[in-house]
Homo-oligomer: A and B are copies of this chain.
Amino acid sequence: MEFMKAKALNEAQEILFKSLDGYVLEAEKIALSKSLGRIIANDHVMEEDLPSFSRSTVDGFAVRSSELFVAGEGIPVVLDNIGEIFMGRTTELTLAPGQAASIPTGGMLPIGADAVVMIEYTEKPDEKTVLVVKPVAPGENVIAKGEDMKSGTVIVHRGERIGVAQIGALAACGFAEISVRKQPRIGILSTGDEVVDIGSKPGGGQVRDINSYALAAMLEAIGCSTIRYGIIPDDYQQVLLALRKAVNETDMVLVSGGSSVGTRDYAVQAIAELGTPGVLLHGIAVKPGKPTIYGLIGQVPVFGLPGHPVSAMTICEQLVKPVIGRLLGRSESFRGRAVPARISRNIASAPGRDDFLRVRLLWKQDGYEAEPILGKSGLISTMLQADGIVHIDTDCGGLYAGDPVIVELI
């Protein structure tokens, strides 16, 4: 096996993206009501004006605003009430000068009207007459045809994730079905003689299979489906067999756990044996997460992840999720929102290495303070305490207490 030097994070990301070179998962049509969290495959464009007619936002009277400039308490403007506009129906009414028509919230403005006066500012001495005691500006209490979105507007862009607002907008535009990328199927293999299933009580020297559950949850949270292929002992033939099966059945495979050198060697060997181009990355200059492996078997990316839970999760965030983003046709990964904060203490970092520091956010008078959660990367408790992650760039020698940092929320 060829020796490979640990790559810088940005080099590693380039290798990954280049290896996939525009390959994306297929698209499929699904019901809008089932689309929350999915990734849209094509730009979806508004094909009509929204709203499709000018409508009132209040209960009142549709009027010609220019006739009401002088209206006021004690000096009402007198208009002829020519009738009623009904919800959900086209109106045949047309306002001539001096006329008004009763209109409900959401009602369609009659021709000639350009504003609605709220019912509170009117009086009706009889069925045929309306007194208005307050002027209205042109367009007041009205949403004009096309004011919300004009025909031709792109409402959701290719690669965007469908959230609540997108569902509302697509519903408004009549997209009962939409085109999304197929849900990525991610296979997860646990390896290592020391790993036992979470339902078992570990014997001496054994640990529970934390990573495959935590990794599955991370990927399900961004809309993947996951398949666990069980716990594979440190035996090359068994690793090879399980990896072959997973590669055949899924869109991407994570080989999780197995913190010993032997396990990692088996993963590298199996990737190389199963197909081309094979192993493309072995070791990265990232803390935590150094012993990361990446390879491609045909079109199926395979990651070998570090055994320590926090290391595995860091690499999942920094490399696996960006690759899944590419498979889904996104230009970006699935990044959490960034929040500005000040670091609470000095933090050393080795230049030439990207550090990812878990922090707790504390709300202070003038903004957030980011308190580093120091602890070995094998510790589960550090995961539970973290609110976000600070990226200490490869060129940075460290941070001083009080330095401004960007915290990516997790």
Given contacts A87-B260, A89-B204, are A198 and B32 in contact (CB under 8 A)? yes
Query: Interface readout for A200-243 with B: 1 if CB under 8 Å, 0 if not?
Result: 11111111111101101110110000001000001000000000
The answer, yes or no, to whether A253 is at the interface (CB within 8 Å) is no
The answer, yes or no, to whether A194 is at the interface (CB within 8 Å) is yes
Other than the known A50-B380, A163-B221, what 13 A-B pairs have Cβ atoms closer than 8 Å? A33-B228, A36-B221, A88-B192, A91-B204, A106-B194, A106-B259, A155-B384, A164-B383, A167-B217, A169-B380, A169-B384, A171-B213, A176-B198
Complex Cα gap A192–B86 (Å)? 11
Which residues on B sit within 8 Å (CB–CB) of A228? 33
Complex Cα gap A207–B51 (Å)? 8
- Give residues 249-299 of A contacting B (CB, 8 Å): 259-262
Q: Is the CB of B90 within 8 A of A217?
A: no
Closest Cβ neighbor of A387 among chain B residues: B337
Q: Is the CB of B205 within 8 A of A168?
A: no
Given contacts A148-B381, A195-B88, A379-B143, are A171 and B209 in contact (CB under 8 A)? yes
Total interface residues on A, CB under 8 Å, equals: 93
Q: Is the CB of A386 within 8 A of B165?
A: yes
Q: Is the CB of A148 within 8 A of B57?
A: no
Complex Cα gap A163–B384 (Å)? 9
Shortest Cβ gap from A61 to chain B (Å): 15
Given contacts A164-B214, A214-B167, A214-B171, are A340 and B313 in contact (CB under 8 A)? no
The answer, yes or no, to whether A301 is at the interface (CB within 8 Å) is no
Closest Cβ neighbor of A91 among chain B residues: B205
Q: Is the CB of A205 within 8 A of B88?
A: yes
Closest Cβ neighbor of A92 among chain B residues: B204
Interface residues of A (CB under 8 A from B): 32-33, 36, 50-53, 55, 57, 59, 85-91, 104-108, 143, 147-149, 155, 163-169, 171-172, 174-176, 192-195, 197-211, 213-214, 216-218, 220-221, 228, 234, 259-262, 307-309, 313, 337-340, 363, 367-368, 376-381, 383-384, 386, 409-410
Which residues on B sit within 8 Å (CB–CB) of A166? 384
Given contacts A88-B193, A106-B207, A208-B174, are A379 and B147 in contact (CB under 8 A)? yes
Q: Is the CB of B57 within 8 A of A378?
A: yes
Complex Cα gap A201–B57 (Å)? 21
| 4 smallest beta-carbon distances between A and B, as pairs | A90-B204, A88-B194, A168-B214, A176-B199
Complex Cα gap A337–B195 (Å)? 36
Q: Is the CB of A205 within 8 A of B87?
A: yes
Closest Cβ neighbor of A194 among chain B residues: B88
Shortest Cβ gap from A302 to chain B (Å): 21
Which residues on B sit within 8 Å (CB–CB) of A192? 87-88, 106
Q: Is the CB of B379 within 8 A of A205?
A: no
Given contacts A164-B313, A171-B198, are A307 and B381 in contact (CB under 8 A)? no
Given contacts A205-B87, A386-B165, are A210 and B172 in contact (CB under 8 A)? yes
Which residues on B sit within 8 Å (CB–CB) of A234? 87
Which residues on B sit within 8 Å (CB–CB) of A55? 205, 207, 378
Complex Cα gap A394–B166 (Å)? 30
Closest Cβ neighbor of A141 among chain B residues: B376
Closest Cβ neighbor of A338 among chain B residues: B363
Which residues on B sit within 8 Å (CB–CB) of A89? 193, 204-205
Complex A-B: 9 CB contacts under 8 Å: A32-B198, A36-B217, A50-B380, A52-B202, A53-B204, A164-B221, A165-B384, A168-B211, A172-B198
Complex Cα gap A211–B168 (Å)? 7
Which of B85, B149, B202, B380 is the one whose CB lies under 8 Å from A168?
Answer: B380
